[in-house]
Structure 1
Amino acid sequence: MKKHSARVAPLSACNSPVLTLTKVEGEERPRENVVGTTDAQSAAGAAGAESSTNKRRLRCCIRVTKLQVQKALWGVAMVMCVCSSWAGFTQISKLAFKQFDAPFTLTWFATTWNCLFFPLYYIGHMCKSPERQTPRQRFRECSRFFGDDGLTPKVFFTKVAPFGLLWILTNYLYLQALRKINSTDVSVLFCCNKAFVFLLSWIVLRDRFMGVRIVAAILAIAGIVMMTYADGFHSHSVIGITLVVSSASMSALYKVIFKMVLGSAKFGEAALFLSLVGSANFVFLSFVPAILYFTHVEYIASLADIPWAYFCGVSALLFGIVLVNFGIAITYPTLISLGIVLSVPVNAMVDLYTCEINFSTVRLIAVSIICLGFLMLLLPEDWDQCIIQLSAKLRKRDEPADGSGELGTGITWRTRARTSMSTFAH
């Protein structure tokens, strides 16, 4: 077992693993007071020690900077992957419905692909881990995530099946909304799930109260109302908006209940959980597409008429969106979440090109405030302290340089003391 392992909750923006910078061990000589040394030699020795310390600090800072730059570059790549995958998932789904209007069949087909998560994780484990375990051994070790008894029938029906149902509802309602309204409205309204997660976490999990996130939640709700008003409260658009808001609510409920019941999971545990969700979907819900076919609700003449390219494309993109959530091991989770909101302008450009949307002033304002609320929810919990520390550093930098003489030294000391006390008061 590794001492430090990243933990992730499926389909949620989780805290990234804390990267601690250990002190670089150098060849430090003990400081000795040698009798007979002159003041100049002592000063030279002190200056040399200070210079070597500064050099070590500089090397340490340079190493941290390189690590941060590397994570930032990976983050940009992840943002592009999430943005393109989410926008592609939305647009290809609309194209698939033009040939085969079957949202539940598409949801069932795409969710079945989740069975591939644990096999892919095991392949990566065999390639990187020095401990070569058999699939059964790795399965049992990851199953401890559910309790000391591992994966039992009771655990499966109480801790896996409910999340599978929420997963199905989230994707099914999202695809149903695409049949009613344009993809830009669907993608921007789904961003409200971040606000719903905060509200549910604050109420159910007793998370820390943050005024800025309350404001973001209010902006999200106001954006939903304005989006409905932009279409004139027509029944067609109201149904579509209700469906996508319900999908966002199911997504938020999934994340909060997962955190409350299961907490957080390591990568292997999360991969096993997602594979179990896909397996449960295949075993217990396969009868639903059959019933919809025979009742002519989602009917097609022959299997050859099914747009398999679109179906596989949608499934692969949704699989990739979930897979990117494991990227918190190499980059910042905030950057991964940023890709969802960046998919809104991509969908808007596609809808504008295909003439499926009319960008009125009310709609633009609604889209803007929902995206603003989403970005405000990405702020860290200590964002106010960071601003205070930054302002304190800027004030300290603007202070006059130390003067020569005893009087100048005393004035500078008192000024710095006042600055530190004011920072402590804030």
Structure 2
Amino acid sequence: MPLNLNPPKKTVPHKRKAKTNSTPRKRPLVTSQQQPGPSSGSGPDEEPGPSGDRQPTPPEEEDADEDEEDEEDEESALAQYDEPYFQHLGRIAGRMVDNWDNFTVIINTGVIGLIRKADAPTTTLEKYRLRAAERLFKVVPGLLDVLTELEGMDDVDSDATNMIGAALDVGRKQTRTEDRGTVNNDAVDWIDHFKLPANKGERGFKNEGCGRYLCPANLDWDDLSVREQLVRDGSLHNRYPRFLWPSGPDGFNVGNYWSGFCRGELLVKAVTAILLSRSSARGKGKSTRKGNAELYDVEYIDFPIIADVAMLLQFALHTQANFSAGPGQLGEAITDKFRAKARNEWPYRLFYYQIMHDLEVTMDEEDRAALLKWWNELIFPQVNGQDLAAQPEDENEMRAIMTAQAEERRRARAASEPTEPEAAEAAT
């Protein structure tokens, strides 16, 4: 029985019947790639589309195909999806799955690791992509079922996964542009202790307020020599900025960097604006429009959205005018040449993946669970066991008195009811 996928495909593409004596054109899955994201890092927000091993079809094969009669493949599970469906879900996948890596490679890794049950990944990058595949299957309804069904029909190849990956990437690029504008523009309303300059060129370490947020957490911004050095040389992705932690003297502990890590107020504002509503982040109540969490049926927080908003906030506070992946490859040593490039193009992609690695791998397991619990209870309180109504702020508040009266009535009723031995004796 074919899967009932939502939304159904409006126009089902035709699958051409191959000649009985022709060589099958199924293409193997590709899971190897040099680095997640763009290979060049040149230009604002540039990245290549998902790459696979697709080769141009020889002219003689094209001619042969044109002579074939188009035939609808009603047995194909993939036929019930269309590209706009994946493009739509690519908007949430970019936030909740991965912001830079090749979606096709992530899907292929999931097919091989989660469906074919191949040997466990051995490299750090392979392990990351398998976790990303698990997240992707969580936010794209039915995708795992479709790929599993296709695998059972021996019909999963790079043609299928390239189509899905390319469509997801279209939605992700739209999301990155949209979220970048939200954070860059709304941060003015989130910060109340100094006026964020409207001109990007006036932000960064030259600005007292921005500099305090951007200053590496282990340095003292009030030290004049530290300020001068940061204004002159800047700071790279390997030195976490202070805004990742809550503000105030209790928000950061030199003896325990993990305490408060990724719980900063600006992070909370940005996640709220992107997933719930911009008005909620401004403290003006819930918007009448559906937020992204509701639109895409997301009721949880995961590490990619935290790393995503951290990257966008870094850009909002920085002087750089155009957003780009930035220089460097994962694991690349920080050399003078790298520093020179980073002066003009900050390494936002490396910053994103460094946070992801530290949250998923470096961080202690209990601290990791506590961080996610904190975020989920904060952003989705009702889903995570919190009361629907707010707790009374004062014991003399009317609802507090009503709660106490209801509890007193319960105690009085329990006291008047006979105990089990008394009830048994009365029954005899």
TMscore range, shorter length = under 0.3
The TM-score normalised by the length of structure 1 is 0.27
The TM-score normalised by the length of structure 2 is 0.27
More helix per residue: 1
Structure with the greater relative contact order (CA < 8 A, sep ≥ 6): 1 or 2? Answer: 1
